[in-house]
Amino acid sequence: MKLKSKRQSAFTLVEIMIVVAIIGLLAAIAIPNFVKARNTAQSNACINNMRQIDSAIQQWALETGKNDQSAPDPGEVAKYIKGNALPKCPAGGDYILAPTVGTTPSVTCPNEVAGPPPMHKLGGTP
């Protein structure tokens, strides 16, 4: 006659605690990298938006015969951008157009210095 033991296999408390600690460690490493990647992507999108707006300003000035001292009209400049509207910064806020066409760069992001590096700055490194 054979004796059957009713032994059930299960995870011990120590094994579960080790798995939870490993998951916590991985999350502690990954989350700051995700935040940094999001900030970098927002900064790159913002810089590209500012380049598009600056190109639209230059195109508007060329086609309408404006000189470097002319003030860009946001309503008229928007016609030279796809969607007929000035884009908004992905981090929030509206772009500020320079007082004259000849100002370099002629577009400023409201988050240019407020945000963490990399900053939203057109025309060179911060």
pLDDT digits (tens, 9 = 90+) for 106-118: 788 877 765 556 6
pLDDT of residue 43: 86
Mean pLDDT of 32-40: 89
Domain ranges of the chain: 16-108
pTM, two decimals, is: 0.72
Specify the 3-state DSSP secondary structure of 11.
coil
- Give the start-end residues of each E strand in the chain: 96-97, 107-108
| Per-residue pLDDT at 82 exceeds 60 | yes
pLDDT of residue 89: 87
In terms of Cβ atoms closer than 10 Å to its own Cβ (0-12, 13-18, 19+), residue 72 is buried
Of the listed ranges 24-33, 66-75, 113-122, the one predicted with least confidence: 113-122
Q: Are 94 and 110 in contact (CB under 8 A)?
A: yes
pLDDT of residue 126: 45
Please state, rounded to an integer, the average pLDDT across all residues of the chain: 85
Q: Which residue has the tokens 């009209």?
A: 73
| Per-residue pLDDT at 123 exceeds 80 | no
Report for 6-15, 57-66, 117-126: range of highest mean pLDDT: 57-66
For residues 117 and 82, the model is more confident at 82
